[in-house]
Structure 1
Amino acid sequence: MQYTVSIAFSPLDQLIDIAKAAEELGFDNIALPDSIFYFEKQSVDYPYTADGKRMFDENSPWVDPLILAGTLGAVTSTLRFYTNVMKLGSRNPLLLARQVGSVANLTNNRFGFGVGIGWAPEEFEWCGVPYAKRGKRVDEMIEVIKLVLGGGMVEFHGEFYDFDRLQMSPAPSKPVPFYVGGHTDVALKRAARVGDGWTSAMMTCDQLTETIAELRKLLAANGRADDPFEYQAVCIDKFGVDGHRDLVAAGVTDYIGIPWVFDGLPFDAPVDKKIDSMKRFADTYIHSGWQDA
């Protein structure tokens, strides 16, 4: 199982130190969250909390994840980065293809593109994109981005996007993996159809077990049963080595966590305290050899 540090809600001036420490301590990845802006009035429920309220406010720190991936890639050499997840629906696929290709090249293929749709009408409409048909539009966006990143002269004529022959150079030297987020049936079908992996929000181990089993059925139905596929999980009820053994048994391949939160520290704790938590986490899960037992 891989281990990924989420840097959600950390002050921006800590992120370089966290990434350097993560690489030194043997973590595999950094998960990069995405939010464009905070809107004061919320028109629909936030889908990942029980009460529908957002777990962040107008002062929560965010940075564009693609810019951050390039920045952190410049101060590391082996650590990988992936968006977790970037909300595609309010963005333009050709501009995203240019950005994703640039990050992949500048990090020497140490970047994975975690994608979702987006949940808030405000983000769509205030960025000039209709909220209606968002799922179909994102499906087409993924197709466009993959096409352009594949290199060479390409064209596309779809329901939402239409362009004649164009080329973006240089194309990444390896395919950029796409990790699809979401818990709905439609999202799981999308992951099985076009993804190189699936990423969860906060779930229990039982929920992960059930979802991963369903994804495996969907992959088989798409003729992809033997394809490499990542299961990236944020689990809320399994801790300690025994808990992580249960997650491996459930099929999880990549554990996403915030080590300092597990130690009871706030998101804005001093960076030296966070690194201490990362060391304890690494000693327990990465260096202990439990996966070889």
Structure 2
Amino acid sequence: MKIGAVFPQLEIGADPRVVREWTTTVEAAGYDHVVAYDHVLGADPANRPGWTGYTDESLFHEVFVLFGYMAAITTELELVTGVLVLPQRQTALVAKQAAEVDVLSGGRLRLGVGIGWNSVEYDALGVPFEKRGARLTQQVELLRKLWAEPVISYDGTFDQVEEAGLNPLPGREIPIWFGGGADAVLRRTGRIGDGWMPTSPPDDKARAQLETIREAAAEAGRDPATIGIEARLTLGAVPEQDWRAFADGWRELGATHFGVNTMNMGLSKPEDHAEVLRDVLPELS
């Protein structure tokens, strides 16, 4: 099971020195990959009674720019979006950005995608919120065509491309993983996904979800064993004495990857995240 570090974007701040030191410390410590979350805009909750979730005060580094920076200061770390809110973005532009990160990093990008929940963000980006699930499925098809062929034509419900293509091409099909736990997500993962990114504990519910993915894969004529699983441990939400058992539980369920999240631990300085990650890796390996 490959172990990665979750980029603590909500707490790391905007100092490029701190981002650089976090990244190089994580790679030197022996982590296999970095996982970064995605949001473009944060909503001001002042006039939105009952608002829950991220706000305008939640700091998010833009994932493709961040990964371009990380690619330049690392040599081995896989760069993983966990997850990119794909339907609110232009498909061809995502294909271009992802291809560029993959090329400049030497093939180290893994694209985790999801539909998101923030309608304010969708509205600001000019994309219908209600059709995000259907759009996501079609986007995956188009992304793979754009990465595979120098020139394509595509006539879809949401995207049209007429005799055009990317240059440079990534030289491979960038892996696309899905985040979320809804039944539609699980079945989509089984049908067309390279992997699944749960955030839940390794319990009976997770076991049942994995079975749904594997059934959908078999129905689609795919080998379920080829679908990866990236679980996530949020250190601040699980008692320290249970961290190893949490990781081992996901190993037993067949997880291929595992992310470690240091946010919401009450750390006093941005620099502390890298130190915690460095110290905890031996306990989970």
Common fold by TM > 0.5: yes
**Deviations, residues 134-174 of structure 1 (Å, cap 9, x unaligned):** 21111111111111011321110111111211121121122
Native 8 Å contact 2:187 2:212 kept in 1 = no
**1:213 equivalent in structure 2:** 211
Native 8 Å contact 1:30 1:82 kept in 2 = yes
**1:192 equivalent in structure 2:** 190
Using the TM superposition, give the Cα deviation of residue 279 of structure 1 relative to its aligned residue in structure 2, in angstroms. Answer: 2.1
SS at match of 1:214: helix
**1:138 equivalent in structure 2:** 136
* 1:29 partner amino acid: H
**1:63 equivalent in structure 2:** 61
Count of aligned pairs: 274
Using the TM superposition, give the Cα deviation of residue 241 of structure 1 relative to its aligned residue in structure 2, in angstroms. Answer: 2.9
Aligned mates of 1:92, 1:43 — CA distance in 2: 27
**1:35 equivalent in structure 2:** 39
Aligned mates of 1:225, 1:58 — CA distance in 2: 43
**2:249 equivalent in structure 1:** 246
Q: Is 87-96 or 57-66 further displaced after alignment?
A: 57-66
Query: Judging changes above 3 Å, is the alpha-carbon distance between structure 1 residues 155 and 19 closer, same or farther for their aligned structure 2 residues?
Result: same
Pair 1:4 & 2:8 matched: no
**1:49 equivalent in structure 2:** none
Aligned mates of 1:222, 1:130 — CA distance in 2: 29
**Deviations, residues 120-147 of structure 1 (Å, cap 9, x unaligned):** 2222122111123221111111111111
Aligned mates of 1:227, 1:172 — CA distance in 2: 25
**2:274 equivalent in structure 1:** 275
Pair 1:16 & 2:13 matched: no
Using the TM superposition, give the Cα deviation of residue 213 of structure 1 relative to its aligned residue in structure 2, in angstroms. Answer: 2.2
Aligned mates of 2:140, 2:150 — CA distance in 1: 17
Aligned mates of 1:170, 1:105 — CA distance in 2: 8
Percent sequence identity is: 22
Pair 1:231 & 2:235 matched: no
TM-score of the pair, normalised by structure 1: 0.86
**1:290 equivalent in structure 2:** none
Structure 1 gap segments, 5+ residues each: 46-51, 287-293
Native 8 Å contact 2:148 2:171 kept in 1 = no
Higher helix proportion: 2
Query: Judging changes above 3 Å, is the alpha-carbon distance between structure 1 residues 163 and 101 closer, same or farther for their aligned structure 2 residues?
Result: same
Using the TM superposition, give the Cα deviation of residue 44 of structure 1 relative to its aligned residue in structure 2, in angstroms. Answer: 10
Using the TM superposition, give the Cα deviation of residue 227 of structure 1 relative to its aligned residue in structure 2, in angstroms. Answer: 5.0
RMSD, aligned CA: 2.1
TM-score of the pair, normalised by structure 2: 0.89
Give 1:128's match in structure 2, choosing from 103, 118, 126: 126
SS at match of 1:84: strand
Query: Judging changes above 3 Å, is the alpha-carbon distance between structure 1 residues 94 and 270 closer, same or farther for their aligned structure 2 residues?
Result: closer
Q: Is 103-112 or 174-183 further displaced after alignment?
A: 174-183
